[in-house]
Amino acid sequence: MKKLKNRVALVTGASSGIGEGIAIAFAKEGADVIVNYPDKAGERNIWDVEKAIKKAGRRALVVKADVSDERQVKRMVNKALKEFGRIDILVNNAGIADAGALTHEMSAEMWDRNVAVNLRSVFLCSRYVLPHMYKQNFGKIINNSTQFAYTGSPLFGHYTAAKAGVIALTRTMAMEVDDANINVNCVAPGAVMTPMVEDVPSGKPSGVLARQTKHRFGDVDKDIVPTFVFLASEESRFYSGQTLSPNGGDVFL
């Protein structure tokens, strides 16, 4: 039996990498999927994601929205509800990384943009989806963080702070919503070769692999996505406020 049969899922940042893998896997498990992308760069692949969802026999809705912008988030959620009537699963996956900078050299603009996309978006999307989950007395919210939220990472103070905030927000929301049959959990992946990781300065990913017990990059579909499927399914109904970290032995939690 498919684990997400007849569920409706909203996946942010679904045009590539982990988000793409989640959206397609959810469809294969029986869910209709709203796939979000932010800009023209994401537009290049989002239609392939839509095609893969439909090939799995499920409905897809493509929505362009910058999830750090409140008005765009409201419009996205309203469009999803108009199309499907409900949102059962929210995956706050959208995220960015940049070249980074030492704290004393980082511009406020670099800090603000990173925190807006990596943390503010989690708040905004949850803020506008939660009222509907309360009404239907059911929901699964899965937030995407990183193992660096636990270890820190030189040059990436903005990124690690935002992602640590995602874990803290996950725990707080879980405390608030459990009585409404809503589960809020988090995934903190390790090194995975996605387009975002490919943009990280050379040498950084290899340093992570040297610390791992597995000494390899994770595979999106085989190593990372199954954790999201689990947390979206009824198998995780007793998980609340948890952060699961498929990281190849880089960090022991």
Q: What is the end-to-end Cα distance of the chain in Å, rounded? A: 32
Catalytic-residue membership of 159: yes
Catalytic residue among 128, 134, 159, 239: 159
CA distance 105 to 110: 10
Instruction: Output the six-digit token pair for 158.
Output: 């903005």
Could you identify the residue written with the tokens 């709203």? 34
Count Cβ atoms below 10 Å from residue 222 Cβ, excluding itself: 9
> What's the rounded Cα separation, in Å, for the pair 161 and 119?
9
Collapsing DSSP to helix, strand or coil, 14 comes out as coil
Cα angle for residues 134, 141, 155 (degrees, 5° grid):
140
- CB 246, CB 187: distance < 8 Å: yes
Residue among 117, 19, 112 nearest 69 (CA): 117
Rounded distance between C-alpha atoms, residue 243 and residue 198, angstroms:
25
For residues 189 and 228, what is the distance between their CA atoms, to the nearest angstrom?
11
Residues annotated as part of the active site:
159
